[in-house]
Amino acid sequence: MVEFEGPKVTLGIAPSVLHEKLQDLSSVGELLPPDSVKDFTADGNTCSFKVKGGVSIHLVRDTSSLEGDMILKMNTVAPTPVKFSLEVLAAEHENGCTCYVRSEADLNPFTRMMVEPALKSLFEDMAKGMQDQFPA
């Protein structure tokens, strides 16, 4: 497994409130910039979207392994070409929380070279979206 981690951002919202907000997966779509992500849809415990380059990502919520600071975990499902998790973690502090997005991906070295820039860009976009929506 390969781990990727996005930038840590300070938000003016408690982790419990952010957790509640992200229970509606359409809120995840609100964190993604429209110039990087197209065709976002959410339905109950699943969401999907296309990233630059036309790759479709299909995710399903995973409630079985929320632990510690993890407030949301989703795993890819078919027809997503790469298997990975997308996790949002938030640690409380006196004025809100520090939050970041990370992933564990099952990649060979060649696939990693292709996927890593896209995942890092996605995580940076999500961090910026959270900062814009929940400023400290």
Against a cut of 0.85, is the pTM above it?
Answer: yes
Q: Write the secondary structure of the chain as one string of H (helix), E (strand) and C (coil).
A: CEEEECCCEEECCCHHHHHHHHCCCHHHHHCCCCCCEEEEEEECCEEEEEECCCEEEEEEECCCCCCCCEEEEEEECCCCCCCEEEEEEEEEECCEEEEEEEEEECCCHHHHHHHHHHHHHHHHHHHHHHHHHCCC
pLDDT digits (tens, 9 = 90+) for 116-135: 888 888 889 899 999 999 99
Please name the residue that has the structure tokens 């929940």: 134
Q: Is the dihedral of CA 4, 120, 101, 13 positive or negative?
A: positive
CATH of the domain at 10: 3.30.530.20
87: domain range?
A: 2-133
pLDDT digits (tens, 9 = 90+) for 12-70: 999 999 999 999 999 999 888 788 888 999 999 999 998 876 788 999 999 887 888 99
